[in-house]
Amino acid sequence: MSTLHMVNKSPFERGAMQSCLEHALEGDGVLLFEDGVYGAVKGSAVTGLIENKAGSVKVYVLGPDLAARGIAGGRLIEGITVVDYPGFVDLVTAHKGTQSWL
Amino acid sequence: MKLSILVNEGPYTHQSADSAYQFTKAALEKGVEIFRVFFYHDGVNNGTRLTVPPQDDRNIQKNWSELAEQYKLDLVVCIAAAQRRGILDEGEAKRHGKGDGAANIAPGFRISGLGQLIEAGIEADRLVVFGD
Amino acid sequence: MSQVKKFLYVNRKAPYGTIYALESLEVVLIGAAFDQDVSLAFIDDGVFQLAKGQDTKGLGVKNFSPTYRALGDYGVTKLYVEKEALAERGLSEDDLMPVTYEDENDGFAEKPSLIFVDRAEMARVMAEQDVILSF
C-alpha cells in the first residue's frame, strides 16, 4: 500500500512540489490542489518535474481548483487524472496514509 | 473506514479551511465516518462565532457548525492555540477573567487539549492535514 | 487505545519566521505521553530548526531550541535529518546542536538522537509511517 502525497503550493513560489516528488516512492499518488494545480499545466518551466516521475508515481489534480483558476483540461500534462472532492476522498481511503507537503 | 482531519489555517486568508470543509462534507455525504476535525495554529479561528462575512460570501464558521449539527461531527479547537488567539468558551473566559459574554466559541465546536489530535491520529484509519 | 502507531512529525519550515516549528514541538511533547512510536523528520528548511547558537533576545520571543535537546527525556529519540537538505543550505552536521538521550536499556548511556540519512532513506522512513503530521 502506498502513500497519497498532497501538494497545495504553486511550484513557482515554493519548493513543496519538487520536494514531494523527490521523496515520493514508486507506486505513490500525488494530488495537486489549491495553488498546487499550477504544477499540473504542460509547457511550463516546471513541467519536467512531473514528467520525470511519470510511470513511477500517479498524479491527480483537483478539478474544482482547476476550474476556479481558469485552467482548461486540455492544458494538463498528459497522464494526469482530474478528480472532484468525492474522488479526493476515494484517493485518501485507497492509499495507506497521506502526507501533506505544507 | 474512519478519517480524522487537521486544519492548520484560519478561514478566508488561506484556502485550507475551505478545502478541509469541502473534503469533510464530501466524505460525510459518501457515508465515510469522520472521527474528528481538529483545529490548530490559526485554524482555531474557524471556531469563533463573532465573524460576520459579507452576505454574498460563504460563512465558513456557519458551514462547519451546520455540518456538526447535521452529522454529529466532533469539531475540536486546540486550547493552547485558542488561548494565544483569543478563542474562548465560557469556562476559559471565566478562568482568565475576561468578563461576561467574552466566550466566542461557535456552536458545534468545543475547546480541548492537543491530546485530542494524537487520539484522532490513533483512532482514525487516515489523518488528512490541511494547511499552508 | 492499546495499539501503537508510528507517528512522524515532518518539519519543513524554519523557526521564528512563522509559528509552525514551535507549535509542532508542542504537539510532539503532548504526544509523547501517548506511548506511540514517535519520530521527527527534518527536511528542506526544517533543518534550520536544529541550528546551533540560536539567540532570540533581540526579537522578544522565546528561544525554543533547547526543547529539542529535552526530547530524549520524553522518550522521543529518533530525529531524522536529511543530508541533502543540509548540504543544499551550506550546512554540515557540525552546524547543528547536539541532541542526545540516555538509553535506559543500556545503562543510561548517552546516545545521539540525530540520525543523518540521505534523501532515499528519508523517503523510506516516511513510507513506513502510520500517521504523518505536518504543520
**Chain A contacts of C134, Cβ < 8 Å?**
99-102
Q: What is the dihedral of CA A13, A16, A21, A25, to 10 degrees?
A: -170
> Do the chains contact at B115 and C34, CB–CB below 8 Å?
yes
Is A1's Cβ below 8 Å from some Cβ in B?
A: no
Q: Smallest CA–CA separation between A77 and chain C, in Å?
A: 25
Summarised one tens digit per residue, pLDDT across range C27-49 is 999 999 999 999 999 999 999 99
What residues of A are in contact with residue C127 (Cβ under 8 Å)? 2-3, 25, 28
Integer Cα distance of A75 and A41 in angstroms? 6
| pLDDT at site C3 | 78
pLDDT digits (tens, 9 = 90+) for A88-102: 999 999 999 999 999
Q: CB-based burial of residue C92 (10 Å sphere; 0-12 exposed, 13-18 middle, 19+ buried)?
A: exposed
The DSSP annotation for B79-104 comes to HHHHHHHT---HHHHHHTT--TT---
* A5-64 residues touching B, CB cutoff 8 A: 6, 8, 33-35, 64
The pTM for the full model equals 0.96
Cell of A27: 507506486
**Chain-chain contact of C127 with A22 (C-beta, under 8 angstroms):** no
Q: How confident is the model at residue C2 (pLDDT cuts 50, 70, 90)?
A: low
Q: What is the mean pLDDT of residues C76-96?
A: 98
Q: How much is the pLDDT for A54? A: 87
Question: Hey, are the CB atoms on B3 and A92 less than 8 Å from each other?
Answer: yes
Closest C-alpha among A96, A89, A82 to residue A4: A96
C-alpha torsion sign, points B81, B87, B88, B89: negative
Return the CATH number of the domain spanning residue range C6-134. 3.40.1260.10
Cα separation, C50 vs B66, in Å, equals 43
- Look at residues B10, B1, B2, B124 and name the one whose alpha carbon lies nearest to residue B78: B10
ipTM of the complex: 0.97
pLDDT in tens, C3-19: 799 999 999 999 999 99
Contact: C7, B118; criterion CB under 8 Å: yes
Which residue in A has a C-alpha nearest to residue C120's C-alpha?
A: A23
Give the separation between CA B34 and CA A85, rounded to whole angstroms: 15
Domains in chain B, CATH or no CATH each: 2-130 (3.40.1260.10)
Q: What is the pLDDT of residue A16?
A: 98
Distance CA C94, CA C92 (A): 5
What is the per-residue pLDDT across A7-49, written as a single tens digit (0 to 9) for each?
Answer: 999 999 999 999 999 999 999 999 999 999 999 999 999 999 9
pLDDT at position B38, please? 98
Terminal CA-to-CA distance of chain A, rounded, Å?
23
* Burial (CB count within 10 angstroms: exposed 0-12, middle 13-18, buried 19+), residue A66: buried
Decide if C14 touches A, using CB distance below 8 A: no
Contact: B129, A34; criterion CB under 8 Å: no
Q: 3-state SS string over C40-109?
A: EEECHHHHHHHECCCCCHHHCCCCCCHHHHHHHHHCCCCEEEEHHHHHHCCCCHHHECCCEEEECCCCCE
| Cα–Cα distances in angstroms (integers) from residue B48 to residues A10, B10, B56, B110, in the given order | 29, 10, 19, 11
Residue of A nearest to B3 (CA): A93
Query: Which secondary-structure segment (H or E) carries A100?
Result: strand A97-100
Q: What are the sequence ranges of the domains in chain C?
A: 6-134
Per-residue pLDDT tens over the stretch C89-121: 999 999 999 999 999 999 999 999 999 999 999
Closest CA to C125 of A17, B123, A25: A25
CATH of domain A3-100: 3.40.1260.10
Assigned C-alpha cell, C32: 509523547
Residue B64 phi/psi, 5° resolution?
-65, -45
Of A3, A19, A28, the CB nearest to C43: A19
- How confident is the prediction along chain B (132 residues), in pLDDT tens digits per residue? 999 999 999 999 999 999 999 999 999 999 999 999 999 999 999 999 999 999 999 999 999 999 999 999 999 999 999 999 999 999 999 999 998 899 999 999 999 999 999 999 999 999 999 999
Mutate which: B6, B13, B15, vs A, most A CBs within 10 A: B15
Residue C19: DSSP 8-state: S
Which positions in chain A touch C10 (Cβ < 8 Å)? 99
State yes or no: is B78 an active-site residue. Answer: yes
Q: Which tens digits make up the pLDDT trace of A53-79?
A: 988 999 999 999 999 999 998 999 999
DSSP bridge pairs for C67: none
Contact A25 C135 (CB under 8 A): no
Task: Provide φ and ψ at A41, rounded to 5°.
Answer: -85, 135
Question: B67, B78, B82, B105: which is the annotated catalytic residue?
Answer: B78
B122 has a chain A CB within 8 A of its CB: no
The grid cell for C121 is: 532513506
